[in-house]
Amino acid sequence: MAKKKDKKAKSKDKASKKAKAAKKPVLKVVAKKANGNGLPKVSKKAWGEDGKALDGVKILDFTHVQSGPTCTQLLAWFGADVIKVERPGTGDITRGQLVDVPGADSLYFTMLNHNKRSITLDSKSKEGMKVLERLVKTCDVLVENFAPGALDRMGLTWEHIHALNPRMIVASVKGFGPGPYEDCKVYENVAQCAGGAASTTGFHDGIPLVTGAQIGDSGTGLHLALGIVSALYQRKRTGRGQRVLASMQDGVLNLCRVKLRDQQRLAHGPLKEYTQYGQGIPFGDAVPRAGNDSGGGQPGVILKCKGWETDPNAYIYFITQAPVWEKICDLIGQPDWKTHPDYAKPPARLPRLKEIFERIEQWTMTKSKFDVMNECNALDIPVGPILSMKELAEEPSLRHTGTIVEVDHPKRGKYLSVGNPIKLSDSISEVKRSPLLGEHTDEILTKVLKFTPREIAEIKASGATGEAPKAQAAE
Ligand code: CAO
């Protein structure tokens, strides 16, 4: 009897549970959707305290000079374990380039290699290759920017790497993609010239110019980093690695996209927003150098500010954006231009830009660039003070956000660097100093690659790792 009652009670319970569940179907569906796509439950940890975006990703960093190192530095800031493989004795050539503090790694190197570990390896020796192959099997991504063919000549062809570790992503920076120039060695300014930046930079009556921003090297490093992260994401689905190629010519051309836009517009008539149009200078068949003209549809130029006679950076970029034209007229004391048929509408202003900007400059020359910035921004008029590197280095807001950071280095002392310019709210970047040459050789051989003490002794005796300084001596 008791058993029967129990059964009844149980079935009642079940029924009431079912009824209760039926009452909250909406909640159930919402909860399912929120946890969909195979994602784990939403973390309850405080923002920034649940690891880093790329935690667990191991990078075999075979990069040197600037383009490759900028890429792997970004990945390291996002939490990847970046193991930089360097040639014993010299390492990355930039360690010894533009040296300012004798005996210390140059700023060129330290500012491009934060948050990495360094192992020295002679990749051309038998024992060195043994270690490299173990690294290939252990890591998720190999990043390199050697001259075309160098990796193959070492024996690390894509086929060999893929056979050793089919999950490995092999990411390369090269000067050019496949084509007539694919075998060329390329540096920053070569890429700026070959990618369309130089032919469109400078004044129309002057020679082509390269820009200070390292769009060929650091720009391509950024492109490559995006390719790597995308390949890592695809690998989650396919389980296999792939090759990622970012050519410097392609990267620069991508950044010059608006100039290819103008090239095609030229076929339909002169580029009216270019200053040379207002000056009556005819256009040729290729996009000309536009001086300081704005790249968008809003005319803009660089104007002098108070103190320009002695301060090379007392200038401001001024944009005559159409929606704020009337405010500009009032600000510079030319209210009649608001209604005058020669100035009121953008098309009427185009042939008169030189005269208009000269008038605006009479006003900016009475003020400092920061006063112009403040007065214009209060009215939503877009302007840009020409900030020197000194001013940027001293700017408190950039220090506050970690875009400019002070780093301590055991051999050179404190120096300034640019921190991670990309801010993730749940993956906070800390900038750690760059490694000394071979500083982590032992640690990587032992803890990452799990070689036995006997194997390590053999590797070292062969000279494949050269002589590494002790980590402690570095502190
Ligand atoms: N152990 C032994 N040998 C090593 C080594 C190691 N750990 N690391 C590199 N090497 C060897 C390479 O195998 C290569 O040897 P081989 O030519 O005999 O095959 C050699 O060092 C030199 O490599 P490299 O040709 O890449 O170097 P480079 O200084 O002559 O050229 C650069 C530099 C940048 C022009 C070239 O690497 C290049 O064009 N890279 C692609 C484009 C690029 O990234 N440019 C941006 C550079 S930043 O401005």
Q: What is the pLDDT of residues 50-86, one digit of tens each?
A: 999 999 999 999 999 999 999 999 999 999 999 999 9
Ligand 1 centre to CA of 144 (Å) is 9
Token reading at 304:
């002098």
Ligand 1 atom at minimum distance from 173 CA: 44
Residue 217, ligand 1, Cβ within 6 A: yes
Whether residues 91 and 222 share a domain: the answer is yes
146 lines ligand 1 (CB under 6 A): yes
Q: Do 219 and 129 fall into the same domain? A: yes
Contact 255/215 with Cβ under 8 angstroms? yes
Which residues span the domain enclosing 99?
58-255+429-461
Closest residue by Cα to residue 54 from 80, 74, 77: 80
Q: Read off the pTM.
A: 0.90
Residue 403 lies in a domain: no
Please count the structural domains in the chain: 2
Q: Is 361 in the pocket of ligand 1 (CB under 6 A)?
A: no
What confidence tier does 467 reach under pLDDT thresholds 50, 70, 90? low
Q: Is the CB of 87 under 6 A from ligand 1?
A: yes
Residues 109 and 155 in one domain: yes
Nearest CA to ligand 1 atom 26: 146
Residue closest via CA to ligand 1's atom 30 equals: 147
pLDDT band at 2 (very low <50, low <70, confident <90, very high): very low
Spatial contact of 43 and 419, defined as CB atoms under 8 Å apart: no
Give the tokens for residue 344: 């009121």
Say which of 61, 92, 140, 217 is annotated catalytic.
217
Q: Do 207 and 104 share a domain, yes or no?
A: yes
CB atoms under 10 Å from CB of 376, counted, come to 22
Domain boundary among 381, 409, 438: 381
CATH number of the domain residue 314 falls in? 3.30.1540.10
pLDDT at 473 exceeding the cut of 70: no
Residue 22 in domain: no
Mean pLDDT, rounded, for 108-116: 98
Active site residue 217: yes
Provide the CA 186 distance to its chain's centre, in angstroms: 19
**229 and 364 belong to one structural domain:** no
| 3-state SS, residue 198 | helix
